[in-house]
A and B are shown apart, each in its own frame.
Chain A
Amino acid sequence: GQQVMQIPQYQHVQEGEDFTTYCNSSTTLSNIQWYKQRPGGHPVFLIQLVKSGEVKKQKRLTFQFGEAKKNSSLHITATQTTDVGTYFCAGPEGGSQGNLIFGKGTKLSVKP
Chain B
Amino acid sequence: DGGITQSPKYLFRKEGQNVTLSCEQNLNHDAMYWYRQDPGQGLRLIYYSQIVNDFQKGDIAEGYSVSREKKESFPLTVTSAQKNPTAFYLCASSIGSGSSYNEQFFGPGTRLTVL
Question: How many angstroms between the C-alpha atoms of A9 and B42 in the bound complex?
Answer: 11
Question: How many angstroms between the C-alpha atoms of A104 and B38 in the bound complex?
Answer: 10
List the A side residues contacting B58 at CB < 8 Å. 99
Question: How many angstroms between the C-alpha atoms of A43 and B44 in the bound complex?
Answer: 13
B106 and A44 form a contact (CB under 8 A)? yes
A99 and B48 form a contact (CB under 8 A)? yes
Whether, in the assembled complex, A26 has its beta carbon less than 8 Å from a beta carbon of chain B, the answer is no
List B34-51 residues whose CB lies under 8 Å from chain A: 35, 40-45, 48
B109 and A42 form a contact (CB under 8 A)? yes
B42 and A48 form a contact (CB under 8 A)? no
B106 and A43 form a contact (CB under 8 A)? yes
B100 and A100 form a contact (CB under 8 A)? yes
List the A side residues contacting B104 at CB < 8 Å. 33, 43, 45, 100
Whether, in the assembled complex, A11 has its beta carbon less than 8 Å from a beta carbon of chain B, the answer is no
B100 and A98 form a contact (CB under 8 A)? yes
B48 and A45 form a contact (CB under 8 A)? no
Whether, in the assembled complex, B103 has its beta carbon less than 8 Å from a beta carbon of chain A, the answer is yes
A97 and B99 form a contact (CB under 8 A)? yes
List the B side residues contacting A33 at CB < 8 Å. 103-104
List the B side residues contacting A104 at CB < 8 Å. 40-42
B43 and A43 form a contact (CB under 8 A)? yes
Whether, in the assembled complex, B16 has its beta carbon less than 8 Å from a beta carbon of chain A, the answer is no
Whether, in the assembled complex, A96 has its beta carbon less than 8 Å from a beta carbon of chain B, the answer is yes
Nearest-CB distance from B48 to chain A (Å)?
A: 6
List B4-35 residues whose CB lies under 8 Å from chain A: 33, 35
Nearest 4 interchain pairs by C-beta: A92-B100, A102-B42, A45-B103, A42-B106
